[in-house]
Amino acid sequence: MKTPFKVHVIEFFIGNTRNKLTSLLFAVVVWAFAFGNTGHEENVEGFILVQPQGKDQVVVKQEIAQSRLVGQTGDPFTGRCRISISGPRNVLTRYLESTERLNGTIQIEGSGRVDLIGGNVFDLPSGLAIKSIDPSWLTVIVDQVVKVEIEVKPLISGTPGQGFVLFPGGITTEPRSVFLEGPKELLEGDSIGVFTQEIDIAGSATEHLEQTVPLVITGDVTGLVSIASGSPSEVVVRLEFQPNLTQAQAEVSVRYIVDEEIDLDIRGDRTIKVSVLGVEDAVREWEKRVQQGTFYLLVKVTDTEGQNRNVPTEEVRWIEGSLPDGISRDQVKLERIILYSAQLLKAVREDEQQ
């Protein structure tokens, strides 16, 4: 039995429509897949660390040699760069979403021109590639790393308290020197120094002062010089102060003392010259007390039966507290006191009557 012509016409239109829809859907899927994986390019910020291959070397200078966007020729290269990455859109998108900033390292053999795009600087997923890096070229200088011993110099400020001075021979450090590590050209020159942190001695009124202070490296504009491993980062500074002594001389009263029940006729020195040595304030105060009569010498005497005698220094006294602080007993020098005679008054009268 033959199929009616009308049925053939209906199947033709319905069947072809189904086929067309299927083909169209398949084409859409293929197009979406192909578009999502076609080559795509993104510009991102990155950072490149330039370091020498040798462990005993260091990069002392790196400058931009060629750039269009990041800096100009001759500018110091800080590591910041502009990177263009290409690859499938979906792969590139996922990678950039999971990476905050591209960080890479390029190792160099020595000084010279460096092409930043050369070599495998960044660890990228399969399918992605670096199209360009700006700046594209650098000029790099590499130097040998050495260890040098340098003397520590104490840094002192301020003026000691009145009556004291700090003399150069009284400043020492322990240890006296430390080892620094850094570029050979820099350390073997005269620009690098090692100082202590500043020590303020303003108002110090002591003969000995000791402090532990950190060390400070000066003259290093590269930031590549450091204290070598094994050397201390701080030292002990010892300061010796010397009294700034003043000398003065004055005529001082001599007073003789006897027991209350004994009356002696005393003939001897009533004043003698006294010299003192001490800090200036104390010496000036001593002179003032001498003038006011509050500092005088005391001598204990007994009957000498008319004989003279030289009074030993150890028998000479003064009222306790009348010698100012800052002058010790051994800083007081006396002329010899001569006691010409010391007799009982009765014996003196009898001698006079005879």
For the domain that residue 52 is a member of, what is the CATH number? 2.170.120.30
| The predicted structure's pLDDT at residue 207 | 85
| The predicted structure's pLDDT at residue 161 | 82
| The predicted structure's pLDDT at residue 347 | 58
| The predicted structure's pLDDT at residue 348 | 55
Q: Do 202 and 252 lie in a common domain?
A: no
209 assigned to some structural domain = yes
Tell me the CATH number at 207. Answer: 2.170.120
| The predicted structure's pLDDT at residue 11 | 56
Distances from the Cα of 2 to the Cαs of 10, 13, 16, 158, in angstroms?
15, 19, 22, 124
Write down which residue in 143, 167, 202 finishes a domain: 143
Q: Do 139 and 186 lie in a common domain?
A: no
Write down which residue in 143, 162, 191 finishes a domain: 143
Q: Do 233 and 211 lie in a common domain?
A: yes
- The pairing of strands 102-108 and 39-52 is parallel
Q: Do 250 and 235 lie in a common domain?
A: no
Chain centroid to CA 281: 36
Distances from the Cα of 253 to the Cαs of 62, 295, 354, in angstroms?
83, 8, 34
Write down which residue in 243, 274, 297 finishes a domain: 243
Nearest Cα neighbor of 116 from 127, 131, 126, 101 is 131
Q: Do 181 and 164 lie in a common domain?
A: yes
Q: Do 252 and 321 lie in a common domain?
A: yes
4 assigned to some structural domain = no
d(CA 252, CA 329): 16
Q: Do 223 and 235 lie in a common domain?
A: yes
Domain of 290 in residue numbering reads as 245-353
| The predicted structure's pLDDT at residue 31 | 43
d(CA 72, CA 86): 25
Q: Do 158 and 139 lie in a common domain?
A: no
Sequence letter at residue 129:
A
14 assigned to some structural domain = no
d(CA 238, CA 296): 41
33 assigned to some structural domain = no
Contact 264, 301 (CB under 8 A): yes
Sequence letter at residue 247:
Q
17 assigned to some structural domain = no
Task: Say if residue 190 is exposed, middle or buried (CB neighbours under 10 Å; 0-12, 13-18, 19+).
Answer: exposed
Q: Do 135 and 169 lie in a common domain?
A: no
Q: Do 251 and 306 lie in a common domain?
A: yes
287 assigned to some structural domain = yes
| The predicted structure's pLDDT at residue 324 | 94
88 assigned to some structural domain = yes
Q: Which three-class secondary structure string do you get for 243-292?
A: ECEEEEEEEEEEEEECCCCCCEEEEECCEEEEEEEEEHHHHHHHHHHHHH
Q: Do 249 and 221 lie in a common domain?
A: no
Alpha helices in 37-139 (DSSP H): 89-98
Beta bridge partners of 130: 85
Distances from the Cα of 209 to the Cαs of 71, 201, 235, 238, 326, in angstroms?
53, 9, 14, 6, 19
In the chain, the number of structural domains is 3
Question: What averages of pLDDT result for each successive group of 10 residues across the chain (354 residues)?
Answer: 55 54 50 53 93 92 93 94 93 89 91 88 89 94 96 94 79 96 93 96 88 96 93 96 88 92 89 92 94 96 88 93 90 94 72 54
335 assigned to some structural domain = yes
Contacts of 223 (CB under 8 A, 6+ apart): none
Q: Do 279 and 221 lie in a common domain?
A: no
